[in-house]
Amino acid sequence: MPRPAESSILMSHSQRYDEASALALWDEDVLRLGRRADDYRRRLGVEDSLRITRHLNYTNICRYRCRFCRFCRRSHDADAYTHTPDELLEQAAAAVAAGAKVLHIVGGVHPELSYAYYVGLLRVMRQAFPEVHLRAFTATEIIDLAAKRPGSVEAVLAELMDAGLNSLPGGGAEILDENYFARHAPDKPGPDAWLNVHAAAHRLNLSTNATMLFGFRETLLQRTRHLLRLRALQDASLAAGRGAFAAFVPLPWIDAAGKPPGGRAEGFAELKTIAVSRLVLDNFPHVKAFTPLLGRGLAETALHFGADELETPLDNYLITNR
Ligand code: SF4
């Protein structure tokens, strides 16, 4: 799949959406918006692709209690778990044998796991699978590691890269808005902390993804500002000429029954979110459609609404709300 040079992406857009014009996009007809986003994606020269990824969750124990999260557990909960590196290696081996090219390793923010556990986990994975892309640890986990080490975020990232890390996932961004975090994730590091970790990764020439958890009580203005904050960091990272965001992954929040809050009618809202993201994030190479949360049918439809890549985890996807 051709990946356009990042500088050519920046030059290829002639008109940028500011806050007001980006906000107005949400009022547009979804089909017209989709056509425009699809046209823009084609002009970028990116072709549809399918990426087979294995999501490995090393623990579901988390020190935080985000209100939108149904994944996290306390250590005394009956269904709490923490896997050893050997157990994860076994899961990864089966996935690689089945064709996985990316291992996406994330978990809760475990209060007691040692720093050595994280470095050691990457080392065993890298040793076992030299060719596999290791995408591991959200910005929230990296911040926790910098407290455990202790040291700067840069020092932690450099050590993880030495152990085999290839990129950072985009989780933990939620909605990059201070008021949103204060209401829904009050005890976890906020938007600036998330952006700072990604900026640090880019300075180290590490590529990262960005996500947006949408559909959980945010306003359209907060959603729009989330996109604009990501675009601003991407501008700075591209100008510096080192690492940058590789892809944007919008994640619809789904309820305990596995449905978006409004049921099937939310499909239009999800497609619209993908289309608006593609148009506003004019400096992002890729927008992904994440099949476990969208469903395969809607994710494939999203490829006509600005998305260019289906991210399809092998086996079960356990984190349904982040
Ligand atoms: S979203 Fe992440 S940080 Fe928040 S409670 Fe869940 S696992 Fe923990």
Tens-of-pLDDT digits for all 322 residues of the chain?
Answer: 333 344 344 434 558 999 999 999 999 999 999 999 999 999 998 877 777 789 999 999 999 999 999 999 999 999 999 999 999 999 999 999 998 999 999 999 999 999 999 999 999 999 999 999 999 999 999 999 999 987 899 999 999 999 999 999 999 999 999 999 999 999 999 999 999 999 999 999 999 999 999 999 999 999 999 999 999 999 999 999 999 999 999 999 987 766 666 554 578 999 999 999 999 999 999 999 998 889 889 999 999 999 999 887 776 554 443 3
Q: Determine, yes or no, domain membership for 47.
A: yes
Q: Determine, yes or no, domain membership for 133.
A: yes
**Span from the CA of 9 to the centroid of ligand 1 (angstroms):** 33
Q: Using alpha carbons only, what angle is made at residue 256 by residues 189 and 186, rounded to the nearest 5 degrees?
A: 20
- Total domains in the chain come to 1
Which atom of ligand 1 lies nearest, measured to the CA of 140? 3
Q: Centre a 10 Å sphere on the Cβ of residue 193 and count the other Cβ atoms it contains.
A: 16
Report whether residue 66 contacts ligand 1, using a CB cutoff of 6 Å. yes
Q: Determine, yes or no, domain membership for 153.
A: yes
For a mutational test of ligand 1's pocket, the pick from 60, 63, 69, i.e. the residue with the most ligand atoms closer than 8 A to its C-beta, is 69
pLDDT at 1: 31
Q: Position of tokens 């959603």?
A: 223
**Span from the CA of 16 to the centroid of ligand 1 (angstroms):** 34
Report whether residue 69 contacts ligand 1, using a CB cutoff of 6 Å. yes
Which atom of ligand 1 lies nearest, measured to the CA of 63? 8
The CATH number of the domain where 107 resides is what? 3.20.20.70
Report whether residue 140 contacts ligand 1, using a CB cutoff of 6 Å. yes
Domain residue limits at 220? 6-10+17-314
Report whether residue 184 contacts ligand 1, using a CB cutoff of 6 Å. no
Q: Determine, yes or no, domain membership for 320.
A: no
Q: Determine, yes or no, domain membership for 319.
A: no
Q: Determine, yes or no, domain membership for 272.
A: yes
